[in-house]
Structure 1
Amino acid sequence: MAKIKPFRCIRPNAGVVSRVAALPYDVYNREEAKVEVAKEPLSFLRIDRAETQFDDSVDTYDAKVYAKARETLEEMISDGTFIADEESCYYLYELTMNGRSQTGIVACASIDDYMNNVIKKHENTREDKEIDRINHVDICNAQTGPIFLAYRAVTQLNEVVDKVKKEALLYGFTSPDGITHNVWKVSESEDNAVIEKAFDDMNQIYIADGHHRCASAVKVGLKRRNENPNYSGDEEFNYFLSVLFPDEQLMIMDYNRAVKDLNGYSKEDFIYEVEKNFNVTLVGDKAYEPEHKSDFGMYLDKQWYKLEAKDDLKAITDPVDGLDVSVLQDYLLKPILGIEDPRMDKRIEFIGGIRGLEELERRVNSDMEVAFAMYPTSIEELFAVADADRLMPPKSTWFEPKLRSGIFIHSLG
């Protein structure tokens, strides 16, 4: 059973929500974040990436950066940029991209469910990336970026969501990237009760995106428990901010690969090696986007090729080894191109599908040697890996659209 509870939200006033809402902190490097804040002084990046308020001599992870984040948040609450709801409730958050919508339930999830594996993971986290968000959440005393969770769709939740979406919008705006964001408050107590009961009946929910933010939020909660040995379990630090989406609405995009060299092979010898495990078809200069699982696009020397995994590779049933990203890694990138550890090897780069296949062409025509277009990992494959208590290879999934930070804030008390 999953404990998913309503909360008292701190949120922007309606007049400025479109200016405050920002893409997640880790989408930008420091220079890019500074540009965004210069363009929009109310951008939530002022809080999420408070180093933007200092010159470059101040380290991104300096203690004064986190103190500035808290100070800025408190100032924006004091001046009315943010308001605090009086009652605890759920919210609905709908994102529409290219005419396709997905609607999630904004709520708080339990750190105990994370530790007990009711909330399932499919990625490893890195301690150095966790430390930054641990400091940010702990010093701000708030969670400012929601975790993207997924669940298997259930009729009761679909019905409540459809009902509430007929009511008046709390917010509605379109961000500069063309994504439409709509928010509703779930005000009726009976609707809140249905939501809570429906999640209580679930045995598992899944982290779709935000593993580092989630792990950091949990570690802050455990730190607060150590500091408050008489905690009851009801304190806000026992929960973390989430948006939960039904699986049937989610879209995972391709997460493509580019490699700097052919590991000493000539083009002809490289293709000869690839043909041992893949059927290789020359497509020409028109980009090839894989249409099926086990198919890959390859861009090399200004030409596109279709790679089709041979039957013995298609027959792999293991939930991890059978992923397309695993097949490419295990039967091409590692044995032929020498990419032993894609997490660490500087010869490989990962390119989100949102950038399109033209980005693969651009990179190969400039600073890379070969690129691979992937068929997207499915949400069912993600669930299967997590249910098996296994981990996906790095950069297996690219979710779009991205949840905005700054629309919902969860205070830790």
Structure 2
Amino acid sequence: MPRIIPFKAVRPTRDKVSLIAARSYDSYSAAQVEARLRDNPFSFLHIINPGYKYDKIISGKERYTLVKNRYQEFKEDEIFIQDEKESFYVYKIVNRDGLVFHGIVGAASTQDYENDTIKKHEDTIEYREEIFKEYLDTVGFNAEPVLLTYPDNDEIAAFIAEVIKERAEYEFTTTYRDTHYLWKVDDSSILKKISGIFSEMDTLYIADGHHRSSSSCLLAKYKKSKNENHQGDEPYNYFMSYLIPESDLKIYEFNRLVKDLNGLSKEEFLIALDASFRIENREQEYYKPSKKHHFSMYLDGDFYSLYLRKGSYEINNALDALDTQILYTTILAPILNITDVRNDKRLDYSHGKKDLSYVKSVVDKGEFQVGFGLLPITTEELKKIADEGLKMPPKSTYIEPKLRSGVTIYEF
């Protein structure tokens, strides 16, 4: 019984939302960050990069405190205003590729995360969890929702369809040519109904935001330990989420790039691959795999198709059947000696929106020696991994929609 509740969001004024909304900080180059901080005084980047004001790189607790200060200044200047009523927020995104995403912004329970009612498919890194927990504890808000997905539901679909007939509270297009729409719903009877529909579902799944949700769970435990009057309904027991139906989820693959062949010649490498794969040289044909357990490889100016040999690989669970795991088990670890896929500097990743032409270009430049192309993982595969309590290899999925920070803010 997932618990999804409305909340009083802190939001930008309508005239400034397009200026404030920002992508994830890591998605900007240093030059892009500099340009936005220099030219746009309302960018949310000013809040999360407060050292810019002092022309100084600031980190740790000092930075977190300054983030809180900048955020409070935006509120004092009435750039951000908190809604008076608890609300759900219907959020629609039309991206530049024409994909349309519809969902609801609400608050999800950390208890549901802890008891696996909200299921995970990725491992988290403990030190990153702790760092972000400390950050949240200092600043006191979530600014970017965790992306959750739920089984398609006719009642929620009908609710969203009715809401979006009205004029949106926000409608703005980003420089990435994605258009965002937001509607506020604060009718108490409707809020109760929507919460009730979610509570009847068996499970929700994290699509994107594993570290944000796990850090929120750590924060809730910490706050509980410090609060003698803990009741369980305090705001710190929830984290902001954007819930979309499974049919709206768009999953791209992450291709793999490797800097060297672990001391092997090209011929020795191909012979080693032959033990597990049927190999065909496609020469200049841009070969993209069309079936599970088929892979593309670009090596020394040629594309190759790699088909996993039947009987050469044993599948015992959902993880074994995952192409990213197969690539690791048959090539990266035993042949290329890449055993720590999270930290090995010889391995890099390229999400599928960049396609195989990017893989070809960086190999041709000599930045990498070989590249591998994969098929995207499906939503069903993602769910099976989570249902079996397993974890995908890192960079197994590149998931859209990608959300903006600063459009709705959840305080705790």
TM-score normalised to structure 2 length: 0.95
Three-state SS of the structure 2 residue aligned to 1:332 is: helix
Q: Which amino acid aligns with 2:392?
A: M
1:16 maps to which residue?
16
- C-alpha distance in 1 between matches for 2:101 and 2:83: 25
In structure 2, relative to structure 1, the CA distance for the partners of 1:177 and 1:249 (3 Å cut) is same
Q: Which amino acid aligns with 1:390?
A: L
1:388 maps to which residue?
388
- C-alpha distance in 1 between matches for 2:363 and 2:15: 45
- C-alpha distance in 2 between matches for 1:10 and 1:133: 21
- C-alpha distance in 2 between matches for 1:35 and 1:165: 34
1:379 maps to which residue?
379
2:72 maps to which residue?
74
- C-alpha distance in 2 between matches for 1:35 and 1:360: 29
Three-state SS of the structure 1 residue aligned to 2:311 is: helix
1:103 maps to which residue?
102
- C-alpha distance in 2 between matches for 1:312 and 1:391: 24
In structure 2, relative to structure 1, the CA distance for the partners of 1:223 and 1:31 (3 Å cut) is farther
How far did 1:148 drift? 0.8
* 1:177-256 → structure 2 map (5 Å cutoff): 177-256=176-255
2:281 maps to which residue?
282
- C-alpha distance in 1 between matches for 2:54 and 2:149: 37
Contact 2:276 2:313 in 1 (8 A): no
In structure 2, relative to structure 1, the CA distance for the partners of 1:16 and 1:381 (3 Å cut) is same
Q: Percent identity?
A: 36
How far did 1:59 drift? 4.1
How far did 1:51 drift? 4.0
Three-state SS of the structure 2 residue aligned to 1:356 is: helix
1:37 maps to which residue?
37
- C-alpha distance in 2 between matches for 1:270 and 1:141: 52
What's the CA shift string for 1:110-164, capped at 9, x where partnerless?
1111111111111111123223322322111111121111111121111111111
Contact 1:320 1:385 in 2 (8 A): yes
Contact 1:25 1:49 in 2 (8 A): no
How far did 1:10 drift? 0.3
Q: Which amino acid aligns with 1:411?
A: E
In structure 2, relative to structure 1, the CA distance for the partners of 1:32 and 1:54 (3 Å cut) is farther
How far did 1:338 drift? 1.1
In structure 2, relative to structure 1, the CA distance for the partners of 1:60 and 1:34 (3 Å cut) is farther
Stretch moving more, 132-141 or 160-169: 132-141
Three-state SS of the structure 2 residue aligned to 1:311 is: coil
- C-alpha distance in 1 between matches for 2:189 and 2:74: 33
Contact 1:48 1:144 in 2 (8 A): no
Structure 1: runs of 5 or more not aligned:
none
Contact 2:9 2:83 in 1 (8 A): yes
How far did 1:290 drift? 2.0
1:47 maps to which residue?
47
- C-alpha distance in 1 between matches for 2:153 and 2:313: 32
* 1:252-401 → structure 2 map (5 Å cutoff): 252-312=251-311, 316=315, 318-366=317-365, 367-401=367-401
In structure 2, relative to structure 1, the CA distance for the partners of 1:172 and 1:355 (3 Å cut) is same
- C-alpha distance in 2 between matches for 1:25 and 1:195: 32
Three-state SS of the structure 2 residue aligned to 1:312 is: coil
Q: Which amino acid aligns with 2:317?
A: D
- C-alpha distance in 2 between matches for 1:394 and 1:119: 20
- C-alpha distance in 1 between matches for 2:53 and 2:401: 27
Report whether the alignment pairs 1:64 with 2:62.
Answer: yes
Q: Which amino acid aligns with 1:362?
A: S
2:6 maps to which residue?
6
- C-alpha distance in 2 between matches for 1:187 and 1:252: 32
In structure 2, relative to structure 1, the CA distance for the partners of 1:219 and 1:54 (3 Å cut) is farther
Three-state SS of the structure 2 residue aligned to 1:402 is: coil
How far did 1:32 drift? 5.1
Stretch moving more, 186-195 or 18-27: 186-195
What's the CA shift string for 1:287-307, capped at 9, x where partnerless?
222222222111111211121
Three-state SS of the structure 2 residue aligned to 1:345 is: coil
Q: Which amino acid aligns with 2:310?
A: D
In structure 2, relative to structure 1, the CA distance for the partners of 1:408 and 1:309 (3 Å cut) is same
Structure 2: runs of 5 or more not aligned:
none
Three-state SS of the structure 1 residue aligned to 2:230 is: coil
Stretch moving more, 298-307 or 277-286: 277-286
* 1:86-97 → structure 2 map (5 Å cutoff): 86-97=84-95
How far did 1:30 drift? 6.0
In structure 2, relative to structure 1, the CA distance for the partners of 1:179 and 1:312 (3 Å cut) is farther
How far did 1:48 drift? 2.8
TM-score normalised to structure 1 length: 0.95
In structure 2, relative to structure 1, the CA distance for the partners of 1:29 and 1:134 (3 Å cut) is farther
Three-state SS of the structure 2 residue aligned to 1:399 is: strand
* 1:123-162 → structure 2 map (5 Å cutoff): 123-162=122-161
